[in-house]
Amino acid sequence: MEGGSNSEMKGRMERQKGVNPKIEPFVPKKGYDPRELKSWAKRTGFVSTTFSGETERGGGHSRRDFDNGRDLNVSSNENVGFDLERGVDKTETVSPKIELDPILGRARNRGVEIEPISGSTDQGLRNGRGRGRGENLGRRTEMEPILRGHNEERKDARNENGNDGNSANGAVNGSGNGHIAQAATPVTEVPRKDDGNVDEEVGMGVYPDGEDPSYGGWHQSPRMKCGLRENPGVVPLMFYGLQHYLSLAGSLIFIPLITVPTMGGSDKDTADVVSTMLLVSGLTTILHSYFGTRLPLVQGSSFVYLAPALVIMNSEEYRNLADHKFRYIMRELQGAIIVGSIFQSFLGYSGLMALFLRLVNPVVVAPTVAAVGLAFFSYGFPQAGSCVEISLPQILLILIFTLYLGGISIFGYRVFRIYAVPVSVMIIWAYAFFLTAGGAYNFKGCNPDIPNSNILIDACQKHADTMRHCRTDVSNAMRTAAWVRIPYPLQWGIPTFRLRTSIIMVIVSLVASIDSIGNYHSAAIRINLKPPTPGIVSRGIGLEGFCSVLAGLWGTGTGATTLTENLHTINATKVANRRAVQLGAALLILFSFVGKIGAILASIPQALAAAVLCFTWALIVALGLSTLQYTQNASSRNIIIVGVSLFFGLSVPAYFQQYAPETGLILPGYLIPYAAASNGPVHTGNAQFNFAMNALLSLNMVVTLLVAFVLDNTVPGSRQERGVYVWSKAEDIMTDPSSLLDYSLPSRVARCFHWAKCVGT
């Protein structure tokens, strides 16, 4: 079959004369050798790697999209066949269509499909939709991944959710039947209905609307304004970096406004923790962009660690502690975070995470991440409601900016959607300042300078909370913070290691890992990359563990992990540039050295911060549930698992939280749900074990993860129904190194880790 130059020339001459040549069927000699299929395609003259179809009407795509292995134009709503059609020829008058039988591997001649309009070939070339025959015959690297054996493809389709994740060109339709798309000229095809249902014979399901949730289709992201490795210049990159971090302001700086006052810290302590958090976030983001997955994801203090931190802060032994309460609690948090992070790092770098990935699917990730946001429903509005005069306008303004004004562009930027949080905070903060200066919170006989002292006066007790949460001059951080302060490791003292808190953080590190797994996959899809391999995911999780160790040493009060809100930022800004994220991280490090910046951020009224967090936590819930797009949403199996997981994730902790009635006299109402660890129903002979179990079962995300993990891995269901994550394979690096080039470690680092297959090098 390798010969045939004379017959090829003869067929070419016949086509130039307008004669429909007789096409011999493709009968493989042995198996389904892609080289045989390619040789047959060359000999018959029907070689084309161009793509067109329904989705191409909006315009052509650049060659770079095809070289990167992204199929941007295949419409999976049609039964597209093997269109191994001719290269572009101005004398063409007919366009025969050859379809390869997906079961027998033999050609079926559909005959002449449609006559192209005069001049359509030239127009197709101008739009980048067609390529000459010489170019098609010469691009061996493009044809090799597409024209591969059909037997192997059917096997991959069964194992990879109906989509071949290893194809460098991604030319696979939604139902899992690998088909090469389309003619070299922009023609309109009428959908055909095959005699038999190929999907049923092969044993694969069809996704809603004919789309495969692993690649392309209904969830594929628009083109990025600034791609992963683009370099538009230093000034635009600095702008994009600041833009990226400003849109994440609520997640980066508001956690200390919750944790430090709860630990009994002063305003100066709050400013110091904010500066420390900026430094650690900058360092860990740069480390992850170089040595982790290398995706443009911001690392920061995660809300995954906030709920267990609140549980530890509100343990019984710390409730009545007065002297140095902040430092005692912070050091215990540091020790627990370090132990849990070491376990997470071991899980990643040992290769165990690659095995664990087989058990983690979107049906597990979705309710778990959603439970992270739902865990703070008892804190959110109760804390924001302490000053409704500023919290309600703040919530309404964020919603107006993101939902009603989000589509408005100013100088080409959707300012209201990108900067919804910082712009609304500045507006409402200024509004609160005028209320304070105008005397709205001055009460007769009460001291506005020291609001906390008013609780000692009977007439001012009812106004003490309002003054503390609403006034903008309550914090003295600006007066006490230094202009220059460099956060350093162990600044709060030597960490305290205790078994009870270490057990809690080890389990929480698993939740953080599952959260990051979903973020890796979703981020890769959003920026049109192939999903990382299990080894690359393991590398990312291992480095996140190391970054959390740094957070524990510096003392941020929480661990460092990938921020889920980063996915919303990428969608809003259309910027997924690694250098922009690195420059923004470098600016965070510089800002952390200026103590007054941390003091300004620490001076935000607590009710205002709680109002912003209400939106942020709701966004986390929505982003978590959006992971279900990779599953069959209409499946009763998935509906029941997600519903049961979320319900018990809220109800079981409520059962444990009712065992602490006496805390109502000591703790405010919004902290009572986090005080169940000391008084829960678990009573054994070991007090440390009792505390750990009561604490874990009072955490919404832990219970949700446990229920979802067990049900999803025991209830029968197909891979399509479960929405099993499609990860690339390590063999892709050997066959097509460029397909996973964006995840590759720097050359010098890769040489040091060439022996470690588990880290994806």
Is residue 138 in a domain?
Answer: no
The answer to whether residues 581 and 228 touch, using CB atoms and an 8 Å cutoff, is: no
Q: What is the pLDDT of residues 463-515, one digit of tens each?
A: 777 888 888 988 888 888 899 999 999 999 999 999 999 999 999 999 999 99
Would you say residue 756 has pLDDT above 90? no
Lowest model confidence (mean pLDDT) among 20-24, 71-75, 431-435, 659-663: 71-75
* 113, part of any domain: no
**pLDDT average, residue stretch 181-200:** 41
Q: Which pLDDT band, with edges at 50, 70 and 90, does 52 fall under? A: very low
- Give 433 or 1, the one with higher predicted confidence: 433
Closest CA to 248 of 516, 523, 568: 568
Compute the distance between CA of residue 222 and CA of residue 220 in angstroms, rounded to an integer: 7
Position 109 scores a pLDDT of 46
Domain with 314 in it: 234-748
* CA-based max dimension of the chain: 105
More confident residue, 716 or 758: 716
Rounded to an integer, what distance in angstroms lies between the CA atom of residue 479 and that of residue 719? 60
Query: Rounded to an integer, what distance in angstroms lies between the CA atom of residue 754 and that of residue 746?
Result: 12
What SS3 state is found at 168?
coil
CA angle 395, 401, 405 (to 5 degrees): 150
Confidence (pLDDT) at 182: 41
Q: What does DSSP assign to residue 575?
A: B
Cα–Cα separations (whole angstroms), residue 406 to 359, 412, 575, 596, 708:
38, 12, 16, 32, 35
What pLDDT is stored for residue 229 in this prediction? Answer: 84
pLDDT at site 87: 41
User: Mean pLDDT throughout 258-277?
Assistant: 93
| Mean pLDDT lowest among 174-178, 401-405, 548-552, 629-633 | 174-178
Residue 390 lies in a domain: yes
The residue with tokens 């420059």 is: 583
Burial-class residue 486 by CB neighbours within 10 Å (0-12, 13-18, 19+). Answer: exposed
| pLDDT reading at 129 higher than 60 | no
Say if residue 128's pLDDT is above 70: no
Q: What is the mean pLDDT of the chain?
A: 76
> Tell me, what's the pLDDT at 84?
38
Task: Give residue 74's pLDDT.
Answer: 41
- Amino acid occupying residue 286: I
Structurally, the chain folds into a number of domains equal to 1
In a domain, 68, yes or no: no
Distances (CA, A) of 428 to 243, 288, 381, 390: 20, 35, 17, 7
pLDDT of residue 737: 72
Which residues touch 345 (CB under 8 Å, ≥6 apart)?
542, 543, 544, 545, 546, 548, 549
**How many C-beta neighbours within 10 Å does residue 120 have?**
16
pTM of the predicted structure, to 2 decimals = 0.71
pLDDT at 245 > cutoff 60 = yes
Residue 40 has pLDDT above 80, yes or no: no
Q: What is the pLDDT of residue 6?
A: 54
Sign of the Cα torsion 550, 552, 555, 558 reads positive
- Contact between residue 341 and residue 559 where contact means Cβ atoms under 8 Å apart: yes
Asked, for residue 559, whether it belongs to a domain, the answer is yes
**Percentage of residues of the chain with pLDDT beyond 90:** 40
pLDDT band at 738 (very low <50, low <70, confident <90, very high): confident
Tell me the percentage of the chain whose pLDDT exceeds 70: 67
Question: Rounded to an integer, what distance in angstroms lies between the CA atom of residue 481 and that of residue 429?
Answer: 20
For residue 642, pLDDT over 80 is answered with yes
107 in a structural domain: no
pLDDT, residue 37, reads 67
pLDDT digits 0-9 by tens, 73-111: 444 444 444 443 344 444 444 444 444 444 444 444 444
Lowest average pLDDT, out of 217-221, 501-505, 532-536, 755-759, goes to 217-221
DSSP assignment string, 685-746: S-HHHHHHHHHHHT-HHHHHHHHHHHHHHHS---HHHHT------THHHHH-GGGGGGGPPP
pLDDT confidence band for 27 (50 / 70 / 90): low
What number is the average pLDDT over the span 533-539? 91
pLDDT tens, residue by residue, 332-353: 999 999 999 999 999 999 889 9
